[in-house]
Structure 1
Amino acid sequence: MLKTLDQSLKLLQLFTKDKPEWGARELAKEIGVNHANVFRMLSTFEANRYLEKDPVTKKYSLGIRLWELGLTMRESFHVSRLIHPILESMMEESGESIFLTCLDGDEGLTLDALEPDNVVKFSVSVGSRCPLFVGASYRSIMAYLPQEHIERIIQQGLKQYTKNTIADPDQLRAELAHILEVGWARSSGEYTPDVLAIACPLFHYEGHIMGSLTISGPQYRMPEESVEKYYDILMRGKEQIDKIITEYRVDLSRYYLFG
């Protein structure tokens, strides 16, 4: 490890939202390096515009070059690098399929789909779309839409995909109200026969509904008495994803799978 480079990087990391400005002697004391060496680091950063020096206070703050690097990183950053590992962990713990869905107009769009090797493959795959009224993945989004959006979807007609599809407007409204009350959704064989799903909503960092997180599997492997176990896995996954959404200001519309 290059000692001077290591010290320089540690120096840069001291510039935070809580303390965006530092004096040279403050920095020397903080990182335990003599003042002369710190001054050389600061002069180099300033000459390359990674730091700026206030001519009055003589204190340093982050410079334009770091802002430019941040923009470059933001454009190339794939949200999936943060969220996909959480989905993988949920799949391994549950032994069932995990889906990440985002709101796209009047439909739900599947962004990520993980299925254990021993699981019968379902019809949901990355890039697939489905109306918001069908199944837990989509109703857990629909329930949090503005009322006028919900009514517009209902007025477009509710197709009966299987005998279990909720295609009655009043029954659908009641189910959406229940989801709002309990905070998650459950469905059984509504889009794909003999498949049970439980799902919870995911919200944008500004507060509006953005997508959903789902655990799904065949009914014979997910009987009623086991739903509580899967619910715990689902809620822990949601908690982890919510933290990432808040901390990194994640927008699921920018979700990309990586190879």
Structure 2
Amino acid sequence: MDSQEQPIKGAQSVYRVLNILEAVIQRGDQMISPKELSSALDIPLATVHRLLAVLRQRNFVACDPVTKKYHIGEGCLINPKQNLGGYIRSRFTPLAERLSRRFGYPTILYARRGYDAVCVQRVDGWNPIQIYLNKVGDRRPLGMGSATLSILAALPEEEAEAILARNEEEIRWVLQTDFTALRRFLEQARRQGYAASSDMLLKGTIGVSHALRMGDEVIGSIAVDAMRSEQWERDEAFIVRELKESLLF
């Protein structure tokens, strides 16, 4: 073995922390439990819990409140090759999968790119009617649909208004309602902390979304789309609560 590969004496805890962090990063979109880490890395479970607590305190990892499994945290900057879309998929796909699995509706992740948002992940649910307004790779200007209204609502108002003015002509080409309704949905989103809209891109559709952040920066959104129905009326409040509780920063 090369001398550079020899473990450095007295640094066992450092090696363990780095091995845990590497294992979480390698999981990408999938989460991992402390027990799985303990087994894979041959580290006592109590030690794994203690080291994860340190990593979580520094935001290098985050813990899903339902499954108690871990995924990449917003402070994890060790993987410089990971672009914003990759970060959003790694960080928020577990939430999208949980929402889709629980409520049955398609749940979509978007990354903000300047004046636009790009679909970076889509998780379909079990509901027999799935709304296909976007597929992975599609872009839409900010202001087009609830998925982007949540991003605008989270931005400083002056910046949001400038973006909306810039995108207005393109939005009007596809908007199924009038621009007054769009502005009403935007004002509601600013007050509520999440966006909800209906009939904007397709008659009979409805959706909610919440902005995604990295620290103080608004980086994208997570959206749930559906056809208007009695089931949706029952589910919407629970979906909103799950989004808010899961995205507390």
- Corresponding residue to 1:198 among 196, 205, 208: 208
1:124 to 129, 134, 137: 134
What do residues 53-86 of structure 1 show as CA deviations (whole Å, max 9, x unaligned)?
xxxxxxxxxxxxxxxxx98x51355533343222
Higher relative contact order (CA 8 A, sep 6+): 1
The aligned residue for residue 225 of structure 2 is: 216
| Alignment TM-score, normalising by the size of structure 2 | 0.60
SS at match of 2:207: strand
Query: In 2, are the aligned partners of 1:199 and 1:212 still within 8 Å (CA)?
Result: yes
Larger Rg: 1
What whole-Å deviation, never above 9, does each CA across 1:31-71 have from its counterpart, x for those lacking one?
xxxxxxxxxxxxxxxxxxxxxxxxxxxxxxxxxxxxxxx98
User: Paired residue for 2:117?
Assistant: 108
Q: Which residue of 2 aligns with 1:230?
A: 239
SS across alignment from 1:201: strand
Backbone CA RMSD of aligned residues: 3.3
Matched, 1:135 2:140: no
Partners of 1:94 and 1:233 within 8 A in 2: no
In structure 1, stretches of 5+ residues that fail to align are: 17-69, 243-259
1:62-113 CA-to-partner distances (Å, cap 9, x unmatched) read xxxxxxxx98x51355533343222211211121111111221222211111
1:161 to 174, 177, 188: 174
Q: SS of the counterpart of 2:133? A: coil
Q: Which residue of 2 aligns with 1:74?
A: 79
Q: Match for residue 92 of structure 1?
A: 101
Unmatched 5+ stretches in structure 2: 1-6, 19-75
Cα distance 1:99–1:8, how it changes in 2: closer, same or farther (>3 A)?
Answer: farther
- Please report how far the alpha carbon of residue 133 of structure 1 lies from its aligned counterpart in structure 2 after TM superposition: 1.6
Describe the superposition over 1:170-190 as per-residue Cα deviations: whole angstroms up to 9, x where unpaired: x54443232111101111121
Q: 2:150 touches 2:194 (CA, 8 Å); kept in 1?
A: yes
Counting aligned pairs with the same residue, the percent is 18
Aligned pair in 2 of structure 1 residues 159, 81: CA closer, same or farther (>3 Å)?
same
TM-score, with structure 1 as normaliser: 0.58
- Does the alignment pair 1:185 with 2:187? no
Q: Residues 184 and 200 of structure 1 are in contact (CA less than 8 Å); yes or no, is this contact kept in structure 2?
A: yes
Q: Is the 8 A contact 1:162 1:190 kept in 2?
A: yes
**Change in CA separation of 1:166 and 1:109 when aligned onto 2, cut-off 3 Å:** farther
